[in-house]
Amino acid sequence: MDNILFARWQMGISLVFHIIFACIGIAMPLMMVISEYLWHKTQDNDFLLLTKAWAKGTAVFFAVGAVSGTVLSFELGLLFPEFMRHAGGVIGMPFSLEGFAFFTEGIFLGIYLYGWDRISKRMHLFAGIIVAISGASSAVFVIMANAWMNTPTGFRLENGVFTDVDPIAAMLNPSSLHLISHMLLAAYMATGFAVAAIHAYVLLKFPNSGFHKKALAISLFLTVPCAVLQPAVGHFAGMQVAKNQPMKLAAMESQFKTEKGAPLRIGGIPDAKTRTTSFAIEIPGGLSFLANGDFGSEVKGLEEFPETDWPHEAVHYAFQFMVALGSYLLFISLWAALTWVRKGWTDYGRKFLIAAVIGGPMGFLAMEFGWIVTEMGRQPWVIYNIMRTSDSVTPMPGLFVPMTVFTLIYLALGVTVISILRRHVKASPVYAERTKEGA
């Protein structure tokens, strides 16, 4: 494994770890605010207990997300200095705005955690709303920078130097809209399903717990509309990728040949040597429709591009896994919506609870696979069609050592977070409430 792969692995591992905490930091504040609003409206003590429990959990995830996000920022500059030297002036604004949003989130989260008896109820709820908005805003600005790497705009390139930089045009590049909408929906959906799975698991043991029924309902209230909207956003994203990054789309679907009425493949094992995909279920014209909204339109195949530039075959598998996991979560969401219509928002059967528990980690897994598609599908470019990743990496030798060290640190940090959360749950009134109601 050469230097560039060690650098990419270290960034990839850091992102895989950080993105979980970042997404929880986006979604949990919104769930926390919804719960507090319901407490204000109903004066039901269950909602107050739930709000405080979720707030403490949010603080833990925020702290770990802040640390891992800071590490990512340093890695971007240290591992890929040529990228930052050339592109830093273009994407500096979204990173600066992300920092502002991050500090705003931290300040108001502190007010929220320690202001229960010090400020009015309305001001306390307002602080929670600011936390939710700033958390989502932070993600939006980071995604704008990443979107720019996929469809770079807002500058002129003269002799390898970026000139006439327009940071607003760079932020509002062609990939921003679909990446932002796709990612935010994924964050709310993944976090909501993970939280729903925890409370569904408890309800399997203590089916009469009103507290956990309400918690499950709030988490599903967040996830159901996101899961329903995500396929439409995915279709829009597919059309944008086909327009701006046709090689990535071809890699996602293992479309080796350029053809009209290109099929949409479900599963399959691609073989670059024979340029075939074995064992795939093909839907005639499906890819043409996904790419252009027309079942008979032409889709460019990988054969249109130099074979040395083809993304890794893992892009196809990651895309398939993402869609499969998302489809399961859509099924659970529709099941939940049907349950609300037929039985109300707190009455869930045992089969549904089991299905919800199974779906708990699927949102985060789907999100990780989605980022593999986004990042590996852009390779070998760090800035699409402008700068290769191999030209941006640091010449410093021995990158195997920091990659190994940071991987071990992340594993230890993950175990520590899980341990802290378990102790928090067992020591909280929520745990006692669960035992009392289930007895």
Per-residue tens of pLDDT for the chain, all 439 residues = 577 888 888 888 888 888 988 899 899 999 999 999 999 999 999 899 999 989 988 888 888 888 788 888 888 888 898 888 888 888 889 989 998 998 999 999 999 999 998 999 999 999 999 999 999 999 999 999 999 999 999 998 888 888 898 999 999 999 999 999 999 999 999 999 999 998 999 899 888 888 888 999 999 999 999 999 999 999 999 899 999 999 999 999 999 999 999 999 999 999 888 888 898 899 999 999 988 888 999 999 999 999 989 998 999 999 999 999 999 999 999 999 998 888 877 778 899 999 999 999 999 999 999 999 999 999 899 999 899 998 898 888 888 888 888 888 888 887 887 787 777 666 655 555 544 544 4
Handedness of CA 415, 417, 422, 427 (dihedral sign): positive
**Residues 214 and 46: beta-carbon distance below 8 Å:** yes
Query: Would you give the distance in Å from CA 282 to the centre of its chain?
Result: 28
Q: Which two tokens stand for residue 295?
A: 């079942």
Distance CA(95)–CA(98), nearest Å, equals 5
pLDDT at 345: 72
pLDDT at 435: 46
Strand segments (E) across 23-164? 156-158, 161-163
Distance CA(17)–CA(234), nearest Å, equals 24
- Among 258, 294, 298, 299, smallest CA distance to 275 is for 258
Angle 3-42/81-114 helices, nearest 10 degrees?
20
Distance CA(162)–CA(156), nearest Å, equals 6
Q: How far is CA 308 from CA 80, 225, 303, 379, 433, in A?
A: 22, 41, 11, 10, 60
Q: Which two tokens stand for residue 55?
A: 């707030």
pLDDT at 439: 45
> Which DSSP letter does residue 201 get?
H
Q: Which two tokens stand for residue 119?
A: 């400020």
Q: Which two tokens stand for residue 140?
A: 């939006």
Helix (H, G, I), strand (E, B) or coil at 329: helix
Burial class of residue 140 in the structure, from the number of CB atoms within 10 Å of its CB (0-12 exposed, 13-18 middle, 19+ buried):
buried
Q: Which two tokens stand for residue 18?
A: 């950080």
Whether this prediction's pTM lies above 0.75 is answered by yes
pLDDT at 427: 60
Residue with tokens 């709030």: 218
Upper half-sphere CA count for residue 212 (Cβ side, 13 Å): 27
Helix (H, G, I), strand (E, B) or coil at 158: strand
Distance CA(325)–CA(5), nearest Å, equals 28
